[in-house]
Amino acid sequence: MNSVTIYLLLAFFAALILYFQIQKLTKKLDDEGAVPAYQKAAQEVLQNLNNAEKYPKFCNVIQKKINTLRQDILFEDALNEASDKDKALDTLEQIRDKV
Secondary structure (H, E, C), 19-82: HHHHHHHHHHHHHHCHHHHHHHHHHHHHHHHHCCCHHHHHHHHHHHHHHHHHHHHHHCCCCCCH
**Residue 5: inside a domain, yes or no?**
no
Residue 26 lies in a domain: no
The number of domains in the chain is 1
**pLDDT tens track for 30-70:** 777 665 656 676 777 777 766 666 777 778 888 888 888 88
Residue range(s) defining the domain that contains residue 55: 51-99
Look at residue 56 and tell me if it is in a domain: yes
For the segment 79-90, the average pLDDT, to the nearest whole number, is: 72
Q: pLDDT category, 7, cuts 50, 70, 90?
A: very high
Cβ(49)–Cβ(65) below 8 Å: no
Asked whether residue 18 is domain-assigned, the answer is: no
Q: Is the pLDDT of residue 16 over 70?
A: yes
Say if 6 falls within a structural domain: no
The reply to whether 63 falls in a domain is: yes
| 82 in any annotated domain | yes
Is residue 37 included in any domain, yes or no? no
Q: For residue 89, is pLDDT > 90? A: no
Q: At what angle do helices 34-50 and 3-32 cross, to 10 degrees?
A: 60
